[in-house]
Structure 1
Amino acid sequence: MAAADEEQQLLHLKLAFLAREPPSCVLSLARKAGGGSVTPPVQNFILANCTGNNAWGDQKCTYVTTILKRIIAEAELSSDIVIDGLYEEFGQFMSSKSNNSSLNRTEKIYREISFLSPTDDNKLVSLVARLSCSTNMLEGDTGCSLWPSSLFLSEFILSYPKIFSKKCCFELGSGVGLVGVCLNYVGASKVILTDGDVSTLENMKANMEMNKLCVEKEGSQLLKENKNKVQCKYLSWEEASESVLSDCMPDLVLGADIIYDPVCVPHLIRVLSMLLRRGNNRGTNNVANKEEISNEFSSTATEAPVAYIATVIRNVETFNCFEKAAADANFSVVNITNSEAPSSLLPYMLSYDRSSVQLLKITLST
C-alpha cells in the first residue's frame, strides 16, 4: 500500500471512530488500513488516535469497550500479534464501565461528523460538526437521530456553497441541527432551524452551542454583531399560520427526511406554500442573487425562494401522496439527485447509504 493511501485509510479509521460509526464499520476500516488484517501498526494507531481521545469524556466508555473487544478478537482470530497496550486499554475501560453502570443507560451519544475536502482526495477535513444524538431511535427519539438525508443535504450544501452564501435559509424538521452547522459554514446570512418537538429543539440548541454558534434569543441584538447567525424556533406544521411565519422571509427552504407520514403531508405542503409564496411579494430584494444562482446551476434563476428536500423513499404510497399534494398546490418538483449530485465528503461513514437518498428541488409554479 502506498504511503499516501495508507495515510488516507488511517484518517478514515479515526474519523469513523469519532463519528461513532457501528463497530462493524470501524473494524472493516481497520482491516482495510492493515491491508486485510488488524496489524500491530493499526492497533497502535487506534490506541494513539482513537481510544485515547477524551473529547467526550466518560460517555464513550461503552462504545470504546465494544470497539476494543472487536479489534482484539479479530487480531487473535487472524493469528496476528495483539499489542499489550490494547489489552491494557481494554481492561481499563472494562473497569471504568463496571464502576459506573449508569453509563450503559445514557440516552445520548456524542458524534463528530467530519466533512472531507473534495479538492484534496479526501485527505483534509474541511468542517467538523459535533452533535449530541440519540442512541436509540426506536424509542421515539427520531428527531435526535442522524439520518442519511441530513448527511446528503449537508454534502449538497458544502458542495455548492454559492447557492447558500449570503442567503436567509429556513429548515423544516431540523433534528440535531447538522444542516444548520453546514449552512453557517458556507456563509448563509441567517439560519433559521425549526422543529415541532420540544425535546428535539432543546437538543438542537445545545448542539449549536457545542459548535460555538450563537443561538438567537428573542429580542436579542447579539446576532447583528456575530458572524454565526442561527435561530432555533419551535414550529408545529399543524398550527403554523401566516402570522407565525410573518418574520420569516427565506431565500431558501430546506428539509431532510420530512416526507415520512401521509397524515403530515397536507400540513407540510401548507407550510411550504406559505414559505415559498412569501418570496413572490419581496419585489427585487433577491435580484442580486440571480446571477450567482444561475452560475452555480444551469437552471433559470428566479426571484422566488426555492426549497431543497432530501428524502429516502421508504414508502412509495407516502411519496406518491406528497407528489399529488404538491401538484395540487401548484408546485414544480424536480428530482436533481443525479444532475446536481453532491461530492462524497463522508467516505469513511460506511453505514451511510448515499444511494438511498433523493434530492428534490421545489418551486412555486407561476
Structure 2
Amino acid sequence: METEGSMDESNSRRSKQLLYLKLAFLAMEPSNCILSLAIEAGGGCITPQVQNYIVKECLGETMKKTTVKDPAYIKGILKKVIAFVVSSSDSVVDCLYEELAHYLTIGGGPPGDNNRIYREISFLSPDYGKDCSNSVNLVASLLCSSNMLEGDTGCSLWPSSLFLSEFILSYPEIFANKSCFEVGSGVGLVGIALSHVGASKVTLTDGDLSSLANMKANLELNKLCFNVASDFTDPSAQKVECKHLAWELATKAEFQDQQPDVVLGADVIYNPECILHLVRVFSIMLEGEYFGEVKREAPVAYIAIVIRNVDTFNHFLTVACESRLSVVDITSNTEVPNLLPYMCSYDRSNVHLLRVSPVSE
C-alpha cells in the first residue's frame, strides 16, 4: 500500500515528466525525444491522461497563437504517438485524431520562405527538482535556421550557446549590473540570458548580416529594447545593442565607446584562418586601462566551445599566449547545473568553458 509520502513523490515525479514533455515540444526537440518523454510520463505507455495533456498543453492555445510553426513537425509527432498507442493495443483519445486531421490539412513547412522555425527554449531554475510549480527561470523565444547544413550556421542553435546561457543563469552575480559584450552572437540567446540576470548593458555582435537581422527579430520576440548600428560610433544608451563586427576589419578605434566588464563568445574558435583576428579583438576588449581616463579593473572573457579540431584549438592557445592572454579551462571546477534536462538533442558533455584574461605583469 502506497503511503502518503510515496504518493506525493510519485505525483511530483509525474508532474515533472509532463513538464519535460511540454517544454521539449515547445523547443521543437526531435520526434523520438517527444515520444520517449510521453512514454516515460505515462509510466511505460502513453496513457489517455498523457494524450490529453499533449492536446491541451502541447497543442493548446499558446501553440495555436504562434505564427511561425512547422506543421510537418506537429504531424510527425502526432503520427508517432498514435502509432505507438495503437501498437500497444491501447485506446487513442478522439481529440488526438482530431488534431492530426487538422494538421493534415495544413501545408508541410513553416509560413514564409525564410527557412526559419520558431523554438521556445525554457531554462529551468537550479532548484527545479524541489519545486515543480516554480521551475522555469527563463523562456527564450527564438527564430532559428531549419537547416544548418545549408550554410545558415549563424542562425542555428549550438550546444555552446546553450551551455554559456546555463552558466550565466547559474552565476547571475558575475553578470548583474555589468556591461557585457559578446562576439559571434548568432541567434542572440546569450544576450537574452544576460538581460534576464540584470546586465547593465548588453552588446551583441556578428559579422554576418543575415544573422544580425535574425538576431534583431529574436530580440523583438523577447520584448527587449535594442538598437542596431553598423559601427561603434553611436553612443546610444539602449540596454541591448546589435552591431555588425567583422573580426578581420576591427580596429582599436572602433571600440572607444565600449567599456565592457565581461566579454563572451560561444563556438567562436572553429576556423584557423580567423584565430588571429579573433584573438586581436579579445586583446583589445580586455585592455582594462585603455577605456576612459581612469584605470579600472581589466575585463574578463568567458568562452564556451566544443573542440572539434585539436590543431585549431592549440593554434588559438598559441596565438593567445603570444598576445599575453591567459586561457584557463574552468569546466571541471565550475559547476553548471543542467537547466535543460528535457532537451535530448543537447549534448553538453563536450562543451568546455574557458576563462580568458590578460596576463598579469
TM-score, normalised with respect to structure 1 = 0.89
Cross-structure match for 2:195: 184
Pair 1:242-2:252 in alignment:
yes
* Equivalences for residues 96-111 of structure 1 within 5 A: 96-97=106-107, 103=111, 107-111=115-119
Q: For residue 118 of structure 1, give the secondary structure of its aligned residue in structure 2.
A: coil
Q: Please say if residues 258 and 291 of structure 2, whose CA atoms lie closer than 8 Å, have aligned partners that are also in contact.
A: no
Cross-structure match for 1:362: 356
2:21 is matched with which residue: 4, 13, 16? Answer: 13
Cross-structure match for 2:185: 174
Q: For residue 115 of structure 1, give the secondary structure of its aligned residue in structure 2.
A: strand
CA 1:279 to 1:80, structure 2 compared with 1: closer, same or farther past 3 Å? farther
**Whole-angstrom distance in 1 between the partners of 2:20 and 2:292:** 46
Cross-structure match for 2:141: 130
* Equivalences for residues 1-366 of structure 1 within 5 A: 2-52=10-60, 53-57=63-67, 59-97=69-107, 103=111, 107-121=115-129, 123=132, 124-217=135-228, 223=238, 229-279=239-289, 286=296, 303-366=297-360
CA 1:284 to 1:222, structure 2 compared with 1: closer, same or farther past 3 Å? closer
**Whole-angstrom distance in 2 between the partners of 1:10 and 1:283:** 55
**Whole-angstrom distance in 2 between the partners of 1:262 and 1:222:** 35
CA 1:129 to 1:276, structure 2 compared with 1: closer, same or farther past 3 Å? same
**Percent identity of the aligned residues?**
55
Q: CA deviation at 1:60?
A: 3.0
**Whole-angstrom distance in 2 between the partners of 1:41 and 1:217:** 47
Letter in 1 for 2:72: T
Q: CA deviation at 1:323?
A: 1.1
Q: CA deviation at 1:14?
A: 0.2
Letter in 2 for 1:51: L
Stretch deviating more after TM superposition (28-37 or 139-148): 28-37
- The Cα RMSD (Å) is 1.9
**Whole-angstrom distance in 1 between the partners of 2:354 and 2:141:** 27
Cross-structure match for 2:4: none
Q: Please say if residues 117 and 345 of structure 1, whose CA atoms lie closer than 8 Å, have aligned partners that are also in contact.
A: yes
Q: For residue 120 of structure 1, give the secondary structure of its aligned residue in structure 2.
A: coil
Deviation sequence 1:126-160 (CA, Å, 0-9, x none): 11110100000000000000000000000000000
**Whole-angstrom distance in 2 between the partners of 1:213 and 1:285:** 32
Q: Structure 2 stretches of 5 or more lacking a match? A: 1-8
**Whole-angstrom distance in 2 between the partners of 1:276 and 1:221:** 22
Q: Please say if residues 280 and 304 of structure 1, whose CA atoms lie closer than 8 Å, have aligned partners that are also in contact.
A: no
CA 1:201 to 1:361, structure 2 compared with 1: closer, same or farther past 3 Å? same
Q: For residue 352 of structure 2, give the secondary structure of its aligned residue in structure 1.
A: strand
Letter in 1 for 2:171: Y
**Whole-angstrom distance in 2 between the partners of 1:283 and 1:6:** 58
**Whole-angstrom distance in 2 between the partners of 1:270 and 1:249:** 16
**Whole-angstrom distance in 2 between the partners of 1:104 and 1:232:** 24
Q: For residue 254 of structure 1, give the secondary structure of its aligned residue in structure 2.
A: strand
Count of equivalent residues? 343
**Whole-angstrom distance in 2 between the partners of 1:278 and 1:285:** 7
Q: For residue 81 of structure 2, give the secondary structure of its aligned residue in structure 1.
A: helix
Letter in 2 for 1:349: M
Q: For residue 45 of structure 1, give the secondary structure of its aligned residue in structure 2.
A: helix
**Whole-angstrom distance in 2 between the partners of 1:204 and 1:176:** 5
Deviation sequence 1:47-74 (CA, Å, 0-9, x none): 0011232142362312111111111111
Cross-structure match for 2:6: none
Q: For residue 150 of structure 1, give the secondary structure of its aligned residue in structure 2.
A: helix
Letter in 1 for 2:245: L
Q: Structure 1 stretches of 5 or more lacking a match? A: 224-228, 287-302
Letter in 2 for 1:246: Q
Q: For residue 80 of structure 1, give the secondary structure of its aligned residue in structure 2.
A: coil
**Whole-angstrom distance in 2 between the partners of 1:192 and 1:279:** 20
Q: Please say if residues 62 and 103 of structure 1, whose CA atoms lie closer than 8 Å, have aligned partners that are also in contact.
A: no
TM-score, normalised with respect to structure 2 = 0.90
**Whole-angstrom distance in 2 between the partners of 1:230 and 1:22:** 32
Letter in 2 for 1:172: V
CA 1:279 to 1:38, structure 2 compared with 1: closer, same or farther past 3 Å? farther
Q: Please say if residues 311 and 359 of structure 1, whose CA atoms lie closer than 8 Å, have aligned partners that are also in contact.
A: yes
